[in-house]
């Protein structure tokens, strides 16, 4: 993740709120240790090192994470894929099949993980921040915190309860096409909700990090997408997947009720203006 996380907590007992927020941040560090592909001591690095040559026994949490990711891969028609950035040629789906079989093989019973071929690598870039926020929020709630705002790198936000004014937390959406962050294009109110945003190309970047898992091509069109939903894990996964599938498919995806309680918005340039438009529900 290698990103800045912040936790704002509201309440009376400052000593305990501070300790709870520290515990929340510790949990985020733990998740980083689990999901980072750059830290050789992480679980993900261990899987990436060995799973192409031998089955790897993973812990219960990693099993649940991988199962969830595979479920979302199926639900999004392959557009959410933690193996999308693997260094392998992208085989076109077989005729008559919409998607290729997953590169990641998981046996739920034995908790064994294996890759279909050498070069496959797990990359939790479109998952980790959201999952870390949900886990940290759980720690806060367990320790009596009822109102908090957590964010990871400002692109994923989780609102616990209301803000300090006892109204839902106010979150601004900035113009994703500008390098400066002060142009707000919309303001949202969140209470016990998460919001994740993804942009194809971040300001200052020339090429996109996001790969369409079905074609292996880096995304090109200059758009951004926001997703609001009950958990940050889900909104995080979908905000990237929706960009990959495009507006029409994302609209369909939302409408099919696969993702209960989710709303998605599309940010694009309309003539000279940048607008956020909610997809039809």
Partner 1 sequence: MAERVKSKLQNRREFLTAAVGVAVTAGVGSLAADSKEEPVRVAVVGAGGRGSDLIRKLSTIAEARIVAVCDDYEPHLKNSAAYAGPLARLFADYHEMLDKAKPQAVVVAVPLWLHFKMCTGAIDAGCDVFCEKTMVYSLEEGRKLAARVDAARCVFQVGLQRRANPIYRQARSMVDAGMIGRITAIKSQWHRNNNWRRPVPVPRTDSQWTALERRLNWRLYKQSSRGLMAELGGHQMDVANWMLDALPTRVMATGGIDYWRDGREVADNVFCIYEYRITPAAGNDPTSREPYIVRATYSALCNNAYEGAAELIMGTRGTLYLTETKGLLFTEHGADDVGWVKADKLGTNASIVTSGKTLGLANDPWAHRGKPVEIDNDQGDDTRDELVSFLEHVRSRDRQTLCDVHAGMRNAATVLAAHDAIETGKTIDYPADLRAG
Name the site residues for partner 1 (rule: CB under 8 A). 13, 15-16, 18-20, 22-23, 26, 39-43, 45-46, 53-55, 57-61, 101, 105-107, 109-114, 116-117, 142-144
CB-based burial label for 98 (10 Å; 0-12, 13-18, 19+): exposed
DSSP type of residue 74: H
Q: β-strand 224-229 against 147-152: which pairing, if any? A: unpaired
Instruction: Report residue 64: phi and psi, to 5°.
Output: -65, -40
Rounded to whole angstroms, how far apart are CA atoms 48 and 87? 12
Rounded to whole angstroms, how far apart are CA atoms 67 and 63? 6
Task: Pick the closer one to partner 1 by CB: 103 or 174.
Answer: 103
Q: C-beta of 204: minimal distance to partner 1 in Å?
A: 29
H runs (alpha helix) in the chain = 14-35, 43-50, 60-75, 128-142, 232-245, 247-255
Q: C-beta of 84: minimal distance to partner 1 in Å?
A: 17
Q: C-beta of 199: minimal distance to partner 1 in Å?
A: 31
CA-closest candidate to residue 58, choices 67, 3, 95:
67
Task: Pick the closer one to partner 1 by CB: 39 or 209.
Answer: 39
Q: C-beta of 89: minimal distance to partner 1 in Å?
A: 16
Task: Pick the closer one to partner 1 by CB: 119 or 261.
Answer: 119
Q: C-beta of 200: minimal distance to partner 1 in Å?
A: 31
Q: C-beta of 16: minimal distance to partner 1 in Å?
A: 5
Task: Pick the closer one to partner 1 by CB: 145 or 171.
Answer: 145
**Tokens standing for 133?**
């926020």
Task: Pick the closer one to partner 1 by CB: 3 or 143.
Answer: 143
DSSP type of residue 75: H
Rounded to whole angstroms, how far apart are CA atoms 255 and 198? 20
Task: Pick the closer one to partner 1 by CB: 24 or 229.
Answer: 24
Rounded to whole angstroms, how far apart are CA atoms 224 and 214? 20
Task: Pick the closer one to partner 1 by CB: 11 or 230.
Answer: 11
Q: C-beta of 70: minimal distance to partner 1 in Å?
A: 11
């Amino acid at each position: 993740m290698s990103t800045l996380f912040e936790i704002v907590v509201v309440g009376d007992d400052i000593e305990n709120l501070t300790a709870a927020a520290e515990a929340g941040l510790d949990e985020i560090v733990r998740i980083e240790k689990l999901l980072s592909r750059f830290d050789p001591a992480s679980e993900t690095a261990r899987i990436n090192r060995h799973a192409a040559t031998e089955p790897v026994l993973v812990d219960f949490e990693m099993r649940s994470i991988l199962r969830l990711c595979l479920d979302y891969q199926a639900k999004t028609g392959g557009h959410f894929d933690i193996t999308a950035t693997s260094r392998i040629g992208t085989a076109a789906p077989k005729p008559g099949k919409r998607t290729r079989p997953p590169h990641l093989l998981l046996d739920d019973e034995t908790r064994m993980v294996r890759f279909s071929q050498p070069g496959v690598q797990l990359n939790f870039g479109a998952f980790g921040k959201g999952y870390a926020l949900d886990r940290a929020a759980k720690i806060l709630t367990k320790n009596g915190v009822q109102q908090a705002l957590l964010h990871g790198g400002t692109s994923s936000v989780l609102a616990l309860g209301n803000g300090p004014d006892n109204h839902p937390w106010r979150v601004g959406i900035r113009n994703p096409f500008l390098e400066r962050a002060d142009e707000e294009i919309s303001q949202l109110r969140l209470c016990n909700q998460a919001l994740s945003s993804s942009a194809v190309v971040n300001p200052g970047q020339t090429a996109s990090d996001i790969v369409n898992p079905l074609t292996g091509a880096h995304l090109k069109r200059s758009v951004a997408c926001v997703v609001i939903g009950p958990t940050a894990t889900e909104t995080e996964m979908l905000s990237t997947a929706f960009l990959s599938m495009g507006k029409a498919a994302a609209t369909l995806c939302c409408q099919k009720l696969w993702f209960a309680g989710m709303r998605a918005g599309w940010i694009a340039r309309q003539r000279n203006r940048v607008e956020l438009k909610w997809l039809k529900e």
